[in-house]
Amino acid sequence: MRIVLLGAPGSGKGTQSQRLVKRLAIPQISTGDLLRAAVARGSELGRQAKQAMDNGRLVEDALVLGMIRERLGEPDARNGFILDGFPRNLAQAHELDELLRRLGQPLDVVVQLEVDYGELVKRIAGRRTCADCGRVFNLLTSPPAGADAVCATTGAPHRLMQRPDDNEATVTERLRVYDEKTRPLIDFYRSRGLLRVINAEGEVDQVTERLTRALTAPAARALRPKRARPAARKKRKPLSRPKSKRGGVRPRRAPARKRAKSAKPKRARRAPVKRARRR
């Protein structure tokens, strides 16, 4: 399955991706993780990306796309993948479309994780990542406990670190950038019939359940988002019908298809009436 997880910083894309990796046996591809690894390695790419990341801005498309092309070309991505944090703007979404079209591997589903703004800020403040195994925890909502208290890599308790960009000023900017650049992807994928939206608040297990249901829901449901129908109806039936020049109500026009079929006979019937008025 080829999946994109969309959602604001702190909406739980990383946490839910890690759970899907186990269930579906496909890799999580997080551009944030790939970029942080490049920064930690001190590579040229990492050096170029660091300033944008520290300021909560998007890293240049060319750098991210190069990285994604390389990653999607690796053998483990052939059976599917979970894209987490990519695409993040319309240009990246178009490039991804093109890349997957060339690979003959189009996306199956895009899931939007919806979380209230205030909740996002709280979650980011409590977020900690294990420096050794990379697992994401939250000191407030999901601290390491029970079997998860021990790091799978070291066998010792997790070494929890806070991400340098999880500070207040940077978080505000990341949320702003999300609204401006990433939110438009919701309509982009909705118009392609790929979008499913889930409520990503509440217990992590509950969200995983909703996500799993969204992934397995029949495609037809994705094509009919709940709010789309009333909006479409409103457009077709305006509340007040436009008045004609003579003050009367203009008759409602027949739907385009019917008009096209009956165009000729109608014109023929109206012609004599017009001539009679002029006299």
The catalytic residue positions are 13, 88, 127, 163, 174
**Residue 33 Cβ, how far from ligand ADP at the closest point, in Å?**
6
**Smallest separation, CB 74 to ligand ADP (Å):** 18
The residue number with the shortest CB distance to ligand ADP is 32
DSSP string, the chain: -EEEEEE-TTSSHHHHHHHHHHHH---EEEHHHHHHHHHHHT-HHHHHHHHHHHTTPPPPHHHHHHHHHHHHTSGGGTT-EEEES---SHHHHHHHHHHHHHHT----EEEEEE--HHHHHHHHHHEEEETTT--EEETTTB-S-GGGGB-TTTSSB--EE--TT-SHHHHHHHHHHIIIIITHHHHHHHHTT-EEEEE--S-HHHHHHHHHHHHHS-HHHHHS-TTHHHHHHHHHS-SSPPBPTTSSBPPPPPPHHHHHHHHHHHHHHHHHHHHHHH-
State the nearest-atom distance from the C-beta of 95 to ligand ADP, in Å: 10
Residue 119 or 225: the one with the smaller Cβ distance to ligand ADP is 119
Could you tell me the smallest distance in angstroms from the CB atom of residue 175 to ligand ADP? 9
Nearer to ligand ADP, 26 or 115 (CB): 115
Closer of 88 and 210 to ligand ADP (Cβ) = 88
Shortest distance (Å) from residue 250 CB to ligand ADP:
50
**Looking at beta carbons only, is 59 or 222 nearer to ligand ADP?**
59
- Identity of the residue, 99 or 150, whose beta carbon is nearer to ligand ADP in the bound complex: 99
CB contact set of 18 (below 8 Å; sequence gap of 6+):
28, 135, 136
**Contacting positions for ligand ADP (CB under 6 A):** 9-10, 31-32, 35, 52-53, 56-59, 64, 85-86, 88, 92, 165, 174
